[in-house]
Amino acid sequence: MVSLNGCVAVVTGASSGIGEAIAIDLAARGATVVATARRKDRLDALAAAHANIHAVACDVADAESVKSMVAEVVSRFGRIDILVNNAGLGLTGYATQITLEEWKEMVDVNVMGVLNCTHVALGHLIDAAKGPRGVADIVNISSVAGRKALPGSSVYAATKFAVNAFSDGMRQELASKHVRVSIVAPGMTESEMIYKIRPDLLAKIRATLEAMPSMTAAEVAETVTFVVTRPAGVAVNDLLVRPTEQER
């Protein structure tokens, strides 16, 4: 496993759940981690508990907020070696229940958030890949929903299909520049996201969680760390990770 000492990693959606766990795991491996999210109080608590984690508030759906965040990161730390696009929103519900504004909010965060962060950070990642490590990384957190749409999650699934398509196109564009682009797609994971699901769907998911052990956020984070600690000549482009008992 390649050391992350000297690397600067930006992790979006890091105020809870998978993003928080990714920030902690990358910091434990030696990276300087910039944890970003909208909830500054949660970020500050995370940074206070971990010496290698630094808090910078950011709304990934707002392009100007992203530009400000990246400028602050580069001003303070001089580089960006790893970008983990983790911020996501799952306002799950049937089309007859959910509003158009909620659909748009998912697209703004799950798709435009990834595009905003990638576009603004890209030049810094390309520059970092020219350094001693010889590579830089973009890791986009997708979902099993990016492989199969289910009733009640059609737009959420659409956003994750979009992330997958964007990731593979970027992978091909950036391969010669030594910027690896990877998808990590978790299955059922205990996180705050399930509490944004409407009660009828939440009851079904709760029943699934009770019948089948889900993954922890820390287990997903270990997968992300595995991806970014491969030797410079090795790219892990697409990882689908499910609980052993999850069938779909």
| Catalytically active residues, by annotation | 156
pTM of the full predicted structure?
Answer: 0.92
Cβ atoms within 10 Å, residue 194:
18
Q: Taking each helix axis from N to C terminus, what angle separates 154-174 and 113-129, rounded to the nearest 10 degrees?
A: 20
Predicted confidence at residue 209, as pLDDT, reads 57
Predicted confidence at residue 188, as pLDDT, reads 84
Predicted confidence at residue 17, as pLDDT, reads 94
Alpha-carbon radius of gyration of the chain: 17
Mean pLDDT, each 10-residue run in order, the chain (248 residues)? 91 96 97 97 98 97 98 98 96 88 96 98 98 97 94 93 98 98 91 58 60 84 98 97 79
Q: How far is CA 228 from CA 44, 52, 223, in A?
A: 25, 17, 9
Sequence-separated (6 or more) residues with CB below 8 Å from residue 182: 137, 138, 139, 140, 167, 171, 227, 228, 235, 236, 237, 238, 239
Full DSSP string of 6-52: T-EEEESSTTSHHHHHHHHHHHHTT-EEEEEES-HHHHHHHHHH-TT
Predicted confidence at residue 61, as pLDDT, reads 98
Predicted confidence at residue 73, as pLDDT, reads 98
Predicted confidence at residue 149, as pLDDT, reads 92
Q: Are 186 and 18 in contact (CB under 8 A)?
A: yes
Distance CA 69, CA 35 (A): 10
Which CATH number does the domain 8-239 belong to among 3.40.50.300, 3.10.20.30, 3.40.50.720, 3.90.320.10? 3.40.50.720
Predicted confidence at residue 195, as pLDDT, reads 45
Domain boundaries, the chain: 8-239
Distance CA 122, CA 115 (A): 10
